[in-house]
Amino acid sequence: MRLIQILFFLVALGVTAYLARKKYTEIYNNVMRGKKVEFDPADKPQRMKNMLLIALGQKKMFKNIIPAVLHLFIYVAFLFTQIELIEIIIDGLTGSHRAIWHLVEGTFLGGLYTLVINSIEILSVLAFVATLTFLYRRNLLKVPRFVKPEMNGWPKLDGNIILYLEIVLLIGVFCMNVGDKALQMKGVYHATGPFAISGTFANLFTGWSDQALIMMERFGWWLHILVVFAFLNYLPYSKHLHIMLAFPNTYFAPLKPKGEMTNMPEIMEEVKLMMDPNAPMEEPPADEEPKKFGAKDVEDYDWTTLLSAYSCTECGRCTSACPANQTGKKLSPRAIVMALRDRMEDKSKNEAEHGKDYDDGKSLFDYITKEEINACTTCNACAEECPISINPLNMILELRRYKIMEEADSTEEWNLMFTNTENNGAVWQFNPADRAKWVSEVEE
């Protein structure tokens, strides 16, 4: 029987690893479609600090205290449960039962083991409360940022599925621990110390037969590990991939001030030549392709931007803070990020079916409308609100730059502004010499 369990565990682990590797490799390849980025080694301490504070420490979540505390319950419970998961995997590979306990029994680490198990149980109860609250907020209270148009269909279902899986995981943990503790009380299993929650409920099951309790404990054990395996393969299809990608995303996020837009060196050179026609001009190599401005498709972005698209939690804080969205405009920063991710996924599927050189004739503008990108006020509210340092504004600006500079596709009002700036040095249509007249009027 022990050998059969080991073999079944190895098969489940092997299938999980094979399927997960395939999908995670696809995501990595999609991210690497982007342009290379050079990083300054001197920035490593600041990048590490950002990752620890924002991804691990959940710093930006606490702008909204109630959801932040509830999210913290689930997050910390998830971290602590990984300790017990390590023991479950060891038991699965060796056919043992609570292998770590038997290693530390009789030492000071034995008390630490019991403390960890009790912490997991208390945090699991708090996570259960948080999970029910989040289900209520999404489905009954219907918080506005969860019912935007881009959340219809799969995004809404995805948000609920992960919460249901949380509940199933908790059922597995407590079935395992309650059955285990009841067997300890009956002297069938070796005592591991008191369990804060399971110890109380175990008293209700001591009347069960040994075989029934063993089945209960094994059911919880297998339920927990199989849901974890399923969860690993579900993550790359879900917004909850941020559990993994929030760390590299916050590490590689730009360090420049949020209000600073990325300049285009080629345009800067043109402006310098306009200001000084006698300045020397370097001719580009004859075989060099003309520079392309902005972004038309995913390959036109840096790979860090594509990583951000996969890191998005779809929480909607960016959209709820967006002034354009608040005034009824079509723009939703969250929808922009989701569209970028969807485009990568579609390109990957098309290439898998038709070959790497396949061109479906589409671009990001088949996913994002001109109305959306033109509605952006570049206020940076979306970038400021994101809990894991995603910058939707950068994505929008690159799309807008392509439309204006590559396709000359701009609104009449903007074209007038561009003309005035070029001719008058200001967005208003008057002689530059008249701009300072108000000073003399004040002096008089």
Q: How far apart are CA 332 and CA 155, in angstroms?
A: 15
Distance between CA atoms of 438 and 444, rounded to whole angstroms? 10
Contact 54, 387 (CB under 8 A): yes
Contact 272, 279 (CB under 8 A): yes
Chain centre to alpha carbon of residue 304? 13
Question: Residue 401 half-sphere exposure, CB side, CA atoms within 13 Å?
Answer: 20
Burial of 41 (0-12, 13-18, 19+ CB in 10 A): exposed
Contact 80, 119 (CB under 8 A): yes
What 8-state DSSP symbol labels residue 170?
Answer: H
Q: What pLDDT is attached to residue 439? A: 74
Compute the Cα dihedral for 63, 65, 70, 76 and give only its sign.
positive
What backbone phi and psi angles, to 5 degrees, belong to 302? -65, 155
Of the candidates 291, 254, 318, 272, the one whose C-alpha atom is nearest the C-alpha of residue 401 is 291
- Maximum Cα–Cα distance across the chain: 102
Q: Could you give the 3-state DSSP secondary structure of residue 297?
A: coil
Residue pLDDT, tens place only, 10-52: 999 999 999 999 999 999 999 999 999 999 999 999 999 999 9
Q: Crossing angle, helix 210-234 and helix 154-185, to 10 degrees?
A: 150
d(CA 244, CA 56): 11
pLDDT in tens, 177-196: 999 999 999 999 988 888 88
DSSP state of 322: -
pLDDT of residue 302: 95
pLDDT of residue 288 exceeding 70, the answer is no
pLDDT in tens, 238-283: 999 999 999 999 999 999 887 777 778 777 777 777 777 677 766 6
Full DSSP string of 395-431: HHHHHHHHHHHTS----HHHHHHHHHHHHHSSSSSS-
- Give the chain's domains with CATH numbers: 2-35+44-239 (no CATH), 265-275+294-423 (1.10.1060)
Instruction: Give the span between the Cα atoms of 365 and 406, in whole angstroms.
Output: 13
Task: Classify residue 213 as left (phi > 0), alpha (psi -120 to 50) or beta.
Answer: alpha
Query: Residue 302, CB half-sphere, CA atoms under 13 Å: how many?
Result: 15
pLDDT in tens, 337-378: 999 999 999 999 999 999 888 989 999 999 999 999 999 999
Assign 3-state DSSP to the chain and report helix, strand, coil percentages, each to 5. Answer: 70, 0, 30
- How much is the average pLDDT of 157-170? 94
Q: What is the pLDDT of residues 98-136, one digit of tens each?
A: 899 888 888 888 889 899 999 999 999 999 999 999 999
User: CA 134, CA 137: separation in Å to the nearest integer?
Assistant: 5
Query: What pLDDT, on a 0 to 100 scale, did the predictor assign at position 383?
Result: 94
pLDDT for residue 432: 67
